[in-house]
Chain A
Amino acid sequence: AQTVTQSQPEMSVQEAETVTLSCTYDTSESDYYLFWYKQPPSRQMILVIRQEAYKQQNATENRFSVNFQKAAKSFSLKISDSQLGDAAMYFCAYRSQLGGTSYGKLTFGQGTILTVHP
């Protein structure tokens, strides 16, 4: 079974600064997908970024980028130019290859609470 570990229960950053959230995972599969989700106080889950394991290029979405190290099984999220609206719980998640017998199940890490200071 796959596991996802987020070793930072809480992180903080000054507005306009950069912060990196860590995530490691364990799997024996070679083809899979990784996600970062944001959960603000409203508790609505919002997709931040997605990475396909077969792609060597790190995914980027505006101020959000990842550092995907497949051999090390590491998937960190970098938030640049942090904004007050970035304050939320962030979850790293894993899913097996598309169409596999796992039926699209997501395995989540424990979450990291990000605080942004003005």
Chain B
Amino acid sequence: DGGITQSPKYLFRKEGQNVTLSCEQNLNHDAMYWYRQDPGQGLRLIYYSQIVNDFQKGDIAEGYSVSREKKESFPLTVTSAQKNPTAFYLCASIATAANYGYTFGSGTRLTVV
């Protein structure tokens, strides 16, 4: 079945450590997105990518980095510069930017220990 796979489901990070969240889709979707979810703040856009080798900052990109070397993959790195990384992270994709059939992954819960 086609869909988005996010891994791991739970991730623990030590202070000062970089961690990478995986997002893989087999839907042949062009556009991919990373959102962060905090209680009481809804989902906020971190980064998005419309095509391979191209991505743009969202509303809260500081402390995060991404790459889009393959159409299927859009990993998110949470760097040590992100001072409050504990949150739930959701990846999403759509066929093209001219589409509204979003598919969401099941999310990664990141906790700083």
Contact: A99 with B45, CB < 8 Å?
A: no
Contact: B97 with A44, CB < 8 Å?
A: no
Contact: B100 with A43, CB < 8 Å?
A: no
Q: Bin chain A's interface residue count.
A: 20 to 34
Say yes or no: is B50 at the interface (Cβ < 8 Å to chain A).
yes
A-B interface contact total, Cβ < 8 Å: 65
Option from A6, A9, A42, A108 in Cβ contact (under 8 Å) with B44: A108
Contact: A99 with B97, CB < 8 Å?
A: yes
Say yes or no: is A98 at the interface (Cβ < 8 Å to chain B).
yes
* C-alpha gap A6/B41 in the complex (Å): 10
Contacts of B35 in A (CB 8 A): 106, 108
Contacts of A47 in B (CB 8 A): 102
Bitwise interface map of A from 37 to 48 toward B, beta carbon under 8 Å scored 1, else 0: 000001111010
Contacts of B48 in A (CB 8 A): 103-105
Contacts of A42 in B (CB 8 A): 106
Contacts of B40 in A (CB 8 A): 9, 110-111
* Chain B residues proximal to chain A, CB less than 8 Å: 31, 33, 35, 40-45, 48, 50, 56, 58, 88, 90, 92, 94, 96-100, 102, 104, 106-107
Offer 29 A-B interface pairs, CB within 8 angstroms, sorted by A.
A4-B42, A43-B106, A44-B104, A44-B106, A44-B107, A45-B90, A91-B42, A91-B43, A95-B100, A98-B97, A98-B98, A98-B100, A99-B97, A99-B98, A103-B56, A104-B48, A104-B50, A104-B96, A104-B97, A105-B48, A105-B58, A106-B35, A106-B43, A106-B92, A106-B102, A109-B42, A110-B40, A110-B42, A111-B42
* Chain A residues proximal to chain B, CB less than 8 Å: 4, 6, 9, 33, 35, 42-45, 47, 50, 91, 95, 98-100, 102-111
